[in-house]
Amino acid sequence: MKSNHKSILLLLGLLILATATGLAALPLSTQKTSSAIGQQKNDDDQVPVIDFANADNPATKQKARKRRGSLRQPKAIDELPGGVEPLPLAGHQFARLPALPVAESNAIVLGKIIARNVILTDDKLGIYSEFSIQVTKVFKDDHGVPGVGASLEVSRAGGAIRFPSGKIQQYTISNQGYPKQGGLYVLFLKRDDEGDFSIVTGYDLSSPGVTPLDGEDPQVNLPFSIYRGMAKDSFLNELQDAVTKTTGGGD
């Protein structure tokens, strides 16, 4: 009996040791602590980010009164508890857009992104991103877009905020992308009553193959995907033809 009792105790000891060793060997990625979540990184090539402490900076305060075109929240934007993230809004605005929304745009330009900024409105309920684009070519212009070589400011709803804790909260629209710093883009623009341009959609021409700005996931069947991977020159020729057919001309 004593021998059996010792054997049972030995087996239990080995089982406990094996379990402890297995847990210690688990990858760190499975240990989702609130500290790890709070220190997450934001890919600055994707959603533009602003430090929350700089949201009231005098340099951005003048623009902060702009609310049209911002992504509005039901209550003032502030840091959420660990593990809680804002959900992207549904991107219904893409459903009825053609792949080349020439008629739906007041201006269509080709240019390089030279600056990206995030603006939090003065009531802290809205957030949007601004992009400065150095114009290389104007395909369509209904409302006096700056000429080639000039800088044009355009905006898009949403952005990201980095809080003092290190946590980054993204406020975005599903399947909506943001132009990357230094990237070359064709942007389709809509002008509001105040004269401000917002991005309808666009295409990244930084690489030999074209990449749609919106619907980054290839499994998302947005109309823009038909141009994914097309040669840059072929795309620009097709765009120019579409502008000519729609407006009867083009620059």
- The string over 176-200, giving b where at least 16 C-beta atoms fall within 10 Å of a residue's C-beta and e elsewhere, is bbbbbeebbbbbbbbbeeeebbbbb
Query: pLDDT-derived band of residue 112, with 50, 70 and 90 as boundaries?
Result: very high
Q: Extract the runs of DSSP E, i.e. beta strands, from the chain.
A: 49-51, 71-72, 107-120, 126-141, 151-157, 159-162, 168-171, 184-191, 197-204, 211-212
How many Å apart are CA 213 and CA 164, to the nearest integer? 30
For residue 229, being part of any structural domain is answered with: yes
For residue 59, being part of any structural domain is answered with: yes
How many Å apart are CA 131 and CA 90, to the nearest integer? 23
CATH number, domain with residue 39: 2.40.50.120
Q: How far is CA 190 from CA 33, 103, 195, 210, in A?
A: 43, 10, 9, 22
Tell me the pLDDT tens digit for each residue of 127-164. 999 999 999 999 999 877 888 889 999 999 999 999 99
Joined together, the tokens standing for residue 70 give 């911002």
**Residue 197 CA neighbour count, 13 Å, CB half:** 24
How many Å apart are CA 147 and CA 229, to the nearest integer? 29
For residue 186, being part of any structural domain is answered with: yes
Query: pLDDT-derived band of residue 35, with 50, 70 and 90 as boundaries?
Result: very low
How many Å apart are CA 105 and CA 136, to the nearest integer? 18
* Under 8 Å between Cβ of 156 and 48: no
Query: pLDDT-derived band of residue 203, with 50, 70 and 90 as boundaries?
Result: very high
For residue 25, being part of any structural domain is answered with: no
Joined together, the tokens standing for residue 2 give 């004593």
Main-chain phi, psi angles of 30, to 5 degrees: -85, -10
For residue 58, being part of any structural domain is answered with: yes
For residue 27, being part of any structural domain is answered with: no
How many Å apart are CA 188 and CA 185, to the nearest integer? 10
Strand pairing class (151-157; 184-191)? unpaired
Alpha helices (runs of H) in 58-123, residue ranges in sequence order: 58-61
Which pLDDT score, from 0 to 100, does residue 13 have? 47
For residue 98, being part of any structural domain is answered with: yes
Averaged pLDDT for residues 6-32: 37
The total number of structural domains in the chain stands at 1
Residues in the chain: 251
| Three-state secondary-structure class, residue 109 | strand
Give the domain range for residue 119: 35-247
How many Å apart are CA 250 and CA 12, to the nearest integer? 81
Tell me the pLDDT tens digit for each residue of 218-233. 677 789 999 999 999 9
Q: Return mean pLDDT, the chain.
A: 81
For residue 19, being part of any structural domain is answered with: no
